[in-house]
Amino acid sequence: MSAEFLEHVEQLLLVDHHVHSIYAHEGDEARFQNLLNEASANPLRRPEAAYDSQVAFALRRWCAELLDLEPHAPVEDYWKRRAEVGENEIARRMTGAAGVSDWLIDTGFKSDDVLPRSSLAPHFTGATHEIVRLEAVAQDVMATLTDPSDYVETFRAALDARPAEVVGAKSVIAYRVGFNQDLRRPSDQAVATAATRWRDEIDAGDGTVRLMDPTLLSFGLHCAVDERLPLQLHTGYGDNDIDLIESNPLYLMDFLREHDASGVPVLLLHCYPFEREAGYLAQAFETVYFDVGLSTNYVGAQSPSLIARSLELAPFGKIVYSSDAFGAAELHYLGARLWRNAISSVIGRWVTAGDWSVQDAIRTVSLIGRDNARRIYGLD
Amino acid sequence: MSAEFLEHVEQLLLVDHHVHSIYAHEGDEARFQNLLNEASANPLRRPEAAYDSQVAFALRRWCAELLDLEPHAPVEDYWKRRAEVGENEIARRMTGAAGVSDWLIDTGFKSDDVLPRSSLAPHFTGATHEIVRLEAVAQDVMATLTDPSDYVETFRAALDARPAEVVGAKSVIAYRVGFNQDLRRPSDQAVATAATRWRDEIDAGDGTVRLMDPTLLSFGLHCAVDERLPLQLHTGYGDNDIDLIESNPLYLMDFLREHDASGVPVLLLHCYPFEREAGYLAQAFETVYFDVGLSTNYVGAQSPSLIARSLELAPFGKIVYSSDAFGAAELHYLGARLWRNAISSVIGRWVTAGDWSVQDAIRTVSLIGRDNARRIYGLD
Amino acid sequence: MSAEFLEHVEQLLLVDHHVHSIYAHEGDEARFQNLLNEASANPLRRPEAAYDSQVAFALRRWCAELLDLEPHAPVEDYWKRRAEVGENEIARRMTGAAGVSDWLIDTGFKSDDVLPRSSLAPHFTGATHEIVRLEAVAQDVMATLTDPSDYVETFRAALDARPAEVVGAKSVIAYRVGFNQDLRRPSDQAVATAATRWRDEIDAGDGTVRLMDPTLLSFGLHCAVDERLPLQLHTGYGDNDIDLIESNPLYLMDFLREHDASGVPVLLLHCYPFEREAGYLAQAFETVYFDVGLSTNYVGAQSPSLIARSLELAPFGKIVYSSDAFGAAELHYLGARLWRNAISSVIGRWVTAGDWSVQDAIRTVSLIGRDNARRIYGLD
């Protein structure tokens, strides 16, 4: 296999365009075990079962060495050692080894459990930027709004008043109502009506403010586009709050047909098991990009097959890298490690067979790992 | 490749957790040829075309030797020889070579064509257990019931009075109405009403008693769970009675959200081409298990790719082995042979690359091939 | 790997059962670039991005030599050189190298941009035949019909009066209304009513005659079957006019249940990413065949995985070869080149491992590449 190509993959400084922060506090083993199961929305009754999984095997294979253990260290040893080292020092070691120049942090998920982005610098190698979660903005707006008929202007103003470090927006509409919805731009009147109904539901309920309304969710997407914020959409694999079948990005085609003329990037996240569908959309619409983050970590040794599937229909200028790591920084490193392993193996095989030239291989890896994201998010 | 690992895979005594009996009588070549096509519900007009298929090639490759022929023996020679040897002797040779300690026999399909479980002992190496088919119970109940408003109690009583050798229940609701249904527990009143309607339909019809009612089918599932019987569900690949698209196990998510707290195992059978979806459900719900039986045989040389896909999101404690063999005992052996070949190749490659340790590989294979099923069905 | 097998794959003269003509005139670079993106229905705003893709890499790898360039020649050199050589000479070189004995030309797409079949002989090595596009027939009929209530007879007569070189029919109903429709045979009265409505829409519109009516589209399918014309159906991957999710061939099961007794072949084209679903249908229905054309070219170096997926459930008598090339004759050659590479690699691996015999491998490749299509279309 081409040494020049392999060297390039190893040395490339990545942009991790969708990732979360690390735990703010030390935790017990069950927290760590639950992290190894992405799909269960509830705490596991038998969390130790999560150790028998691709992600746990991969983590022991690749992260143990950075905690001064042998590769494949037994789970008992691994847990003991990581408890000794602690979340912050783990983050220093793992992000140091990840080879990531820029982390785009989604701050909208379990934000009480993790460090705010502003506290990451001592523990993170690489610059950090922020992705604003649209549903979190909506919920904050609603929590403080006096008159729900002011929702349209207040939401727009809140998004417009975002801090300078925000380089994109993310929506979890897939988790809330799925994509099999009418996502065309709603009228201001329809938004105001929906906001009023939502306020009534909050007042009639237990005080929880959780946005589940398709009109308001859709409104969020359009506002982000109006602000010309690159728009990240969770698709596919995630926890069992949502029917996976409704998170198939193919349901977005009507939205994308209307959207494509805007030129604002739409980034399909994760996509598993709909990578081929995502690749199709990335070819069909000039604004569509996608990654196979999250699933790369969770399929572990099977990630070369996943990465290979991502390299089918999508033009190579439309694929980006992410880890979607959360909480434990092993996942921040593992995403990069498995991505380098997989792309070396998959593209390296094509180079060896003569299907691709070394030069094309090197340029493609640079696009996917770094350049596409730098261009989309204006990171230069 | 690790000799220790390969040896372990070869020696492991399997539990075949979903399989059928063998033919009760000798048959003609067309019967054998039709068996090589699983998807056609009708007899093939050109049954000889089924010989040009992965399953036929695999059968000639692996089973010919056990019938004293060369591997890849021509189909004419193969058919002539198997007719000489006969179904019972074939069963003795094939089950002897399969390395299966326990066969869990589904007795509810074409039961007039195959031997009852109680007659298998002379021909089968390994213990046999029984899986009760819920739709067969329902049809037996209805065939003898005087007053259909007694259906609720009579069905429950019939299930409760099952023989001691019954270790689980199976439903083919996928074949009858598909999964895109409301599968929440129906009220007793709704069940009685549906039973009365069914009786009226039987009386108005040609005497055939075939359960097609969603309420009664759903009731069967809930009764099995109430009895704490591990519940096998046909999903995916099967004959063309059902729209394959409606047998996608993702349609079960509402049912599984309600069900998961019961702790009763739900076993998704076959799953092709929805293995990734099944693996997702096995991670998302603690009661969900799955296998890729049936399809392993029918994709033949492509089975390593199938087995690899099954080793993605599902924790390894949630995957089980089955052949789903029926009728001709070559299929009982072939399932095991192809599974061993495939899992040796797939996991063996990870061991060789250093992605998995030999110890993890050995333990994982034991879980999938034997231990998970022993635990689920209480076989010890 | 078996030299006998590899030699057979290289020497086999193929039938390309679904392909288009070549450009009638020289064009600019944007036209060529747009051709490398199949999924966008609109001209690309940044057409140069299409060069970073599997199809472009594969084209430079395999076609450059036939234009006197080095493999992987830079895109600038490649474009300059192909402009020098010209479309007709490119066609002569590419079809000469493709090793195709018979091209079945679909003449119904962008017919003003490409040469009529009758003009291909000087540029094409191999015989040509014609596939009639049902929607084009329907639109021609409607454009000239005085009384729309005569639609039934006029359409039937037009199809019946087809030239002798027509060996099959094709429908793009997937692009017009998707498969999730009632495709049962409509009554003549329903067709006449639909035709009258269509005429009213044409009269009320801008004069464009584009068939979008499910009843008339379905009528076309049934007429082709009545004429016993092998019926090609676009499925899966294509441009973004249609929701990809609605072009899943599994939605055809009701139609196929009714259709199968006719014995008229139905050929599912392309199928990506629904190859497994297509293979299932090819096993489930004796009239169903499929190919993975179009996608073979567009996934390039990933085509062995695609070809492997096509070799699962379908009996080998039910798989056919196509390129679905259009416009630039590199695609006519590339389809054959990638197919030979992929099938050599996939089946060759099985032969080397002993899973398949050389004889079975050779016969299977002959069926898929040549014999199945010769039988279906009566080419002898």
What backbone phi and psi angles, to 5 degrees, belong to A132? -90, 135
SS3 at position B16: strand
Interchain contact B358–A (C-beta under 8 A) = no
Interchain contact A272–C (C-beta under 8 A) = no
Tens digit of each residue's pLDDT (9 = 90 or more) over A233-265: 999 999 898 899 999 999 999 999 999 999 999
- Sheet of strand A166-171, all strands in order from the earlier edge strand to the far edge: A14-19, A100-106, A127-133, A166-171, A231-235, A266-270, A288-290
Cβ contact C255:C247 at 8 Å: no
What backbone phi and psi angles, to 5 degrees, belong to B354? 85, 5
Which H or E run includes C170?
Answer: strand C166-171
Interchain contact A312–C (C-beta under 8 A) = yes
Cβ contact A4:A91 at 8 Å: no
Residue in A248, A317, A360 nearest the CB of C57? A360
Chain B residue numbers with beta carbons less than 8 Å from the beta carbon of A46 are 286
Cβ-Cβ pairs closer than 8 A, B with C, add up to 90
Chains with ≥3 CB–CB distances under 8 Å to A: B, C
Interchain contact A360–C (C-beta under 8 A) = yes
Closest CA to C123 of C132, C114, C131, C112: C114
The residues facing C288 across adjacent strands are: C266
SS3 at position C268: strand
Cβ-Cβ pairs closer than 8 A, A with B, add up to 89
The pLDDT value recorded for residue C90 is: 98
The pLDDT value recorded for residue A107 is: 86
Residue whose tokens read 């539901």:
A201
Interchain contact A321–B (C-beta under 8 A) = no
Tens digit of each residue's pLDDT (9 = 90 or more) over B151-207: 999 999 999 999 999 999 999 999 999 999 999 999 999 999 999 999 999 999 887
The pLDDT value recorded for residue A69 is: 98
Interchain contact B356–A (C-beta under 8 A) = yes
Interchain contact A44–B (C-beta under 8 A) = yes
Tens digit of each residue's pLDDT (9 = 90 or more) over A280-319: 999 999 999 999 999 999 999 999 999 999 999 999 999 9
The CA-atom distances, in angstroms, between C37 and each of A22, C27, C50, C53, C55 are: 40, 16, 6, 9, 9
The pLDDT value recorded for residue C107 is: 86
Which residues make Cβ contacts (< 8 Å) with residue C85, sequence separation at least 6?
Answer: C67, C93
Residue in C50, C53, C72 nearest the CB of A357? C72
Helices and strands counted in chain B (H then E) = 17, 7
**Residuewise pLDDT in 10s, chain C (380 residues):** 799 999 999 999 999 999 999 999 999 999 999 999 999 989 999 999 999 999 999 999 999 999 999 999 999 999 999 999 999 999 999 999 999 999 999 988 777 899 999 999 999 999 999 999 999 999 999 999 999 999 999 999 999 999 999 999 999 999 999 999 999 999 999 999 999 999 999 999 887 889 999 999 999 999 999 999 999 999 999 989 889 999 999 999 999 999 999 999 999 999 999 999 999 999 999 999 999 999 999 999 999 999 999 999 999 999 999 999 999 999 999 999 999 999 999 999 999 999 999 999 999 999 999 999 999 999 98
Burial class (CB in 10 A: 0-12, 13-18, 19+), B321: buried
Residue whose tokens read 């591997």:
B71
Selected for mutation to probe chain B from C252, C255, C276 (highest B CB count within 10 Å) is C276
Interchain contact B248–A (C-beta under 8 A) = yes
Chain A residue numbers with beta carbons less than 8 Å from the beta carbon of B286 are 40, 44-46, 49
Cβ contact A198:A138 at 8 Å: no
Interchain contact C356–B (C-beta under 8 A) = yes
DSSP B22-36: BBSS---HHHHHHHT
Tens digit of each residue's pLDDT (9 = 90 or more) over B109-161: 777 899 999 999 999 999 999 999 999 999 999 999 999 999 999 999 999 99
Q: Kindly provide the b/e burial profile for residues A194-232, where b requires at least 16 CB atoms within 10 angstroms of the residue's own CB.
A: bbeebbeebeeeeeeeebebbbbbbbbbbbbbebebbbb
For A127, the token pair is 């610059």
* Residue B72 to residue C315, Cβ atoms within 8 A: no
- Cα distance between residue C230 and residue C18, in whole Å: 12
SS (HEC) of B107-118? CCCCCCCECCHH
Mean pLDDT of A111-138: 96
For A5, the token pair is 């190509």
For C368, the token pair is 């898929």
* Residue C237 to residue A284, Cβ atoms within 8 A: no
- Cα distance between residue B71 and residue B78, in whole Å: 10
Q: Which residues of chain B, if any, have pLDDT below 70? A: none
Interchain contact A359–C (C-beta under 8 A) = yes
* Residue C285 to residue B53, Cβ atoms within 8 A: no
pTM of the model: 0.98
In the predicted structure, residue A214 carries a pLDDT above the cut 80: yes
The pLDDT value recorded for residue B112 is: 86
Mean pLDDT of A320-348: 98
Mean pLDDT of A322-340: 98
Interchain contact C51–B (C-beta under 8 A) = no
What backbone phi and psi angles, to 5 degrees, belong to B44? -70, 140
Chain C residue numbers with beta carbons less than 8 Å from the beta carbon of A248 are 245
What backbone phi and psi angles, to 5 degrees, belong to B70? -70, 150
Residue in C240, C295, C302 nearest the CB of A285? C240
Interchain contact C377–A (C-beta under 8 A) = no
Q: Read off the DSSP letter of residue B50.
A: G
Residue in A40, A45, A272 nearest the CB of B284? A40
For C32, the token pair is 């060529």
* Residue C40 to residue A277, Cβ atoms within 8 A: no
What backbone phi and psi angles, to 5 degrees, belong to A94? -70, -45
Closest CA to C24 of C86, C92, C98: C86
Interface of A with C in 277-296 (CB under 8 A): 277, 280, 283-286
Residue in A250, A253, A315 nearest the CB of C52? A315
* Residue C53 to residue A316, Cβ atoms within 8 A: yes
End-to-end Cα spacing for chain A: 33
Interchain contact A31–C (C-beta under 8 A) = no
SS3 at position C370: helix
| Per-chain mean pLDDT for chain A | 96
Per-residue confidence band for A208, with pLDDT thresholds at 50, 70 and 90: confident
Burial class (CB in 10 A: 0-12, 13-18, 19+), B24: middle
The pLDDT value recorded for residue B53 is: 98
A71 to chain B: nearest residue by CA? Answer: B357
The pLDDT value recorded for residue B1 is: 76
Chain C residue numbers with beta carbons less than 8 Å from the beta carbon of B243 are 250, 253-254
Cβ contact A104:A131 at 8 Å: yes
Per-residue confidence band for A380, with pLDDT thresholds at 50, 70 and 90: confident
* Residue A298 to residue B313, Cβ atoms within 8 A: yes
* Residue C286 to residue B72, Cβ atoms within 8 A: no
